[in-house]
Amino acid sequence: MASPVHPAQRAIAALPIPDEWEWELVVRPRRRTLGIDIAADGGVRFAVPPDADPREVADAVRSRLPRLANEVRRRRERPAGLVKELVDGTGFSYLGRRHRLRLVPAGAGRRVRLHQGWLELPRPVDRRAGGRSVVDWYMERGSRWLVMRMPSYAGLVGVAPKELAVRDLGSRWGACGPDGTITLHWAVLQLPAALVDLVLVHELCHLRATGHGAEFRGHLRRVLPDADERECLFADEEPRLWRGAVR
């Protein structure tokens, strides 16, 4: 027997949403307000609480349609994922600074490291193992940097996150868990510090406000008055981030 259709789904379907969009509505028991997530391929997911008022949901989606349309188009038109070649001289960015790769002899205790401006990689057994080693380096080094970075921003936002994690989040750049855990995608560590801070503060603000409405924007802009400018820069840079593919 098919599951009943939530009234908010009918309300969204009645809006002038482009025919080519692929979208879905999911009901999240822990949500209090509308949430909108756009996947890497441009698919849109609307998340609502079980008792969501369909008219309020429709009004909220309608007000955001122009911005959503721009983001869906941008994600559909983004170039194919960047692939790195693990050879001497390949460029890798960390916190906005570019470092060239240097393969060094493998040996006991040898690990990926930054040394005299080079990103040194112990010669891997194969390219996939090498790619994983570099990704692991971003996660380990980035975690240490972010753990030192987070307390001051958490204080400005007025929250006390449970912990911070850095891992692969797929198509998402950050996440705020229901238990208060803040997670960032390791790939954002390639960006300048100001843009990594944007992702961090964005997720911290979700501990104060769900969704991306006026309350959320108020918290974000109070901590980062230039958040709009940073978001424009982030939108330009994120399609060019390396996500671990090697050849």
Provide the whole-model pTM.
0.73
CATH 3.30.2010.10 boundaries in the chain? 84-246
pLDDT surpasses 50 at 166: yes
pLDDT surpasses 50 at 2: no
Each residue of 167-186: pLDDT tens digit? 999 888 999 988 899 999 99
Under CATH, to which class is 84-246 assigned? alpha beta
Each residue of 182-209: pLDDT tens digit? 999 999 999 999 999 999 999 999 999 9
pLDDT surpasses 90 at 29: no
Query: What pLDDT is stored for residue 209 in this prediction?
Result: 92
Each residue of 42-100: pLDDT tens digit? 889 899 999 999 999 999 999 999 989 988 888 777 665 689 999 999 999 999 999 99
Cβ contact 143:192 at 8 Å: no
Mean pLDDT for the chain? 91
